[in-house]
Structures are given as C-alpha cells and as structure tokens.
C-alpha cells in the first residue's frame, strides 16, 4: 500500500509542476500593448481661407498657395487642402497658375499633391507662348 501512496504523491507533484509550468510564464509576463493606430486620424488644427506666401532670398515671392480649407495632421505632419490654388513665380518668366479640387501637402511642406480637375496655366511672354495643361493628378516640389 505504501508503494501506491508514493506513486500517487509523485503523480500529484508532477501534475502540480505541469500546471505551474503552463500558468507561471503567463502570470509573470505583462501583456504587450498594441501600437497599432486604431482610431481615425485626428487633425490638430483647421484653417479656413488659408494663404501662405513663400519668399526668395531676395525678398520676392516664389509662390503663393491658397485653399478654401487646410486640415493639418500631427502624426505625419501632412495637411489636406480643399480647392487649392498655387501661383509660382520665376524671375524673367510668366507666372504659372495651378488649381485643383483637392490637395495634400507633405514631406514637411516641401511637396504638394494636387488632384481632381487639375489645371495648370502658364502666361505668355516674349520667350515662350502661353500654355494650359489639364490632368487628374499632379505632384509639385516646392522649393
């Protein structure tokens, strides 16, 4: 009988060790916090009737960007634009006018993506004739 009791005690101890082996690592490890972005993007500010003028080193306008609405997002420092209009100035050349239904400023304000009924118009001068381009999407690098 003594031999059976020893077998039973060993079986209970082994079962307890098995339970501890499974339970203990899970009890000691804190759950990993998910870093996935589950919420929709939240803007940090909205500007209506937005206008920005970038100046050259000589104090002349390089471009003027306007939009009906600018919505800025802090997570990637981008902004969406409603009805953006861009006028680019180059010394000795006519201005270039670009308009679209909507746009996006990204890359720390260095790039502009205009989309939806994009229209680019260049005035004429002695060196070159006027021109007009229409497209669905246009990427512009702003200096």
Q: What per-residue confidence (pLDDT) applies to 141?
A: 93
Which helix (H) or strand (E) segment holds residue 124: the answer is none
Closest of 83, 84, 89, 78 to residue 54, by C-alpha: 89
Interval 8-62: pLDDT, tens: 777 667 666 667 666 666 666 555 544 454 456 789 999 999 999 999 999 999 9
Q: What are phi and psi of 48, to 5 degrees?
A: -100, 145
* pLDDT reported for residue 33: 47
> What is the residue-wise DSSP string for 81-101?
EES-EEEE--TTS--EEEE-S
Q: What residues are paired with 79 via a beta bridge?
A: 72, 105
The model carries a pTM of 0.69
Per-domain boundaries in the chain: 1-30, 45-141
Per-residue pLDDT at 101: 97
Task: Please give the C-alpha separations between residue 79 and each of 44, 113, 139, in angstroms, as whole numbers.
Answer: 10, 10, 14
The per-residue pLDDT for range 13-24, each reduced to its tens digit, is 766 666 766 666
Which CATH number fits the domain 45-141, given the four candidates 1.10.3720.10, 2.40.240.20, 2.60.450.10, 2.40.50.140?
A: 2.60.450.10
Widest CA span of the chain, in angstroms? Answer: 116
**Residue 124 pLDDT > 70:** yes
């Amino acid at each position: 009988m003594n031999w059976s009791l020893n077998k039973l005690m060993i079986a209970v101890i082994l079962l307890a060790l098995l339970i501890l082996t499974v339970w203990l690592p899970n009890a000691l490890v804190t759950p990993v916090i998910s870093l996935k972005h589950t919420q929709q993007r939240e803007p940090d500010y909205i500007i209506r009737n937005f206008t920005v003028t970038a100046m050259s080193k000589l104090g002349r306008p390089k471009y003027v960007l306007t939009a009906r609405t600018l919505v800025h997002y802090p997570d990637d420092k981008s902004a969406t634009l409603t009805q953006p209009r861009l006028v680019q100035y180059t010394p000795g050349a006519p201005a270039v006018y670009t308009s679209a239904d909507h746009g996006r400023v990204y890359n720390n304000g260095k790039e502009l993506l205009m989309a939806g009924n994009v229209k680019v118009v260049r005035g004429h001068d002695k060196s070159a004739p006027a021109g007009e381009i229409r497209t669905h999407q246009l990427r512009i690098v702003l200096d």
